[in-house]
Amino acid sequence: MWMLSFVPDSILYLVVIGIMFSGISLYAFSFITRVLPPLLPYTGMIRILGTILTVVGIYFFGSYSTEMEWRAKVAELEAKVAVAEQKSTEANVKIQTVVKEKIKYVKETRVVIQEHIKTVEAKIDSICKVAPEAIDILNEAAATPGAKK
Amino acid sequence: MNKLLIAVAILSLTGCAMFETPTPVKRNFPSVPTELMEACPDLKKTEPTEKLSEVLKVVVDNYGQYHECKIKVDTWVEWYKTQKDIFESVK
C-alpha cells in the first residue's frame, strides 16, 4: 500500500471517483437492460458488478478521505514542530548568553576579591595564625562526600 | 437489497486508512548549551599553612566555584521549564 504514496493525489482521487461512479452507473444501467433484450440475461450480473464496484468505490473514497485528513494533520504537526524547534534553538541561545554573562561576572568578582585579599594580606596574617587542625577541618568539609580519598 | 447496500455504503464511508499508515512526526530532543554540560569541579583544599590569607584565598575560590555551580543548576531548571513549555505547545 505504501507504493500508493508515490501516486499523485489527483490521480488517486480520479481513480477512486472513477470506480465509485462506474459502479453507480452499472447499477443504474442494470435497470435499463429491460429495454435492451440482448443484455437481459446479464441484468443480474451487471447489477452485482455495479453493487460491488459501488461499495468498493465508496470504501476507497472513505479511505482516501481519511488518508488525506491524516496527511493534512501530519503536515500541520510538522509545521508546528518546526516552529517549536526554532523557538527551542532561540531559547538555548538566550540561555547560553545569560549563563556566560553570569559566570563571567562570578569569575571577575572572584578576581577582585583575591586582589583585595592581597592588599590586606600582611595585616590579616599579622593578627591571626591558623592552627593545623583548622586546615584539616576545612579540608574535611571541602571533601566530596562519598568520594575515594 | 437496497437497504443492505445503503448500510454497507455508510459503513464503507468510515474508510480505514488503507492507502498508507501516516508516518509519525519525528521530534528532535532539544540540545543543551555546552556550558551546562560541564561538571562542577571538586572544592579546592587548603595546603597546610599558618597564614589566614592563604586559607581565605582557597575559601574565596570555593565560594566562587559554588556560585558558578549554582548558576548552572538554576539555568538547568530554567532550561527544562522553557523547553518543556515549548514541547507542550505542540499538540
pLDDT in tens, B43-66: 999 999 999 999 999 999 999 999
What pLDDT does A67 receive?
81
Beta bridge mates, B51: A129
What pLDDT does B17 receive?
47
What string of pLDDT tens digits covers the 91 residues of chain B? 667 767 766 665 555 545 555 457 888 899 999 989 999 999 999 999 999 999 999 999 999 999 999 999 999 999 999 999 999 998 7
B-chain CB neighbours of A78 within 8 Å are 25
Cβ atoms within 10 Å of B48's Cβ, excluding its own: 10
What string of pLDDT tens digits covers the 149 residues of chain A? 566 667 788 888 899 999 999 999 999 998 888 888 888 888 889 999 999 999 999 998 988 888 888 888 888 999 999 999 999 999 999 999 999 999 999 999 999 999 999 999 999 999 888 999 999 999 999 998 887 65
What pLDDT does A68 receive?
86
Contact A74 B22 (CB under 8 A): yes
What pLDDT does A17 receive?
93
Q: Does A112 touch chain B if contact means CB atoms closer than 8 Å?
A: no
What is the pTM (predicted TM-score) of this model? 0.70
Contact A143 B43 (CB under 8 A): yes
Instruction: For residue B46, give the C-alpha cell.
Output: 587548603
CA distances from A30 to A61, A112, B7, B44 (A): 23, 99, 20, 96
Q: With beta carbons less than 8 A apart as the criterion, state whether A148 and B68 touch.
A: no
Instruction: For residue B64, give the C-alpha cell.
Output: 566562587
Contact B75 A99 (CB under 8 A): yes
Contact B83 A91 (CB under 8 A): yes
Q: Does B64 touch chain A if contact means CB atoms closer than 8 Å?
A: yes
What pLDDT does A4 receive?
66
Q: Does B17 touch chain A if contact means CB atoms closer than 8 Å?
A: yes
Question: What letter would DSSP give residue B25?
Answer: P
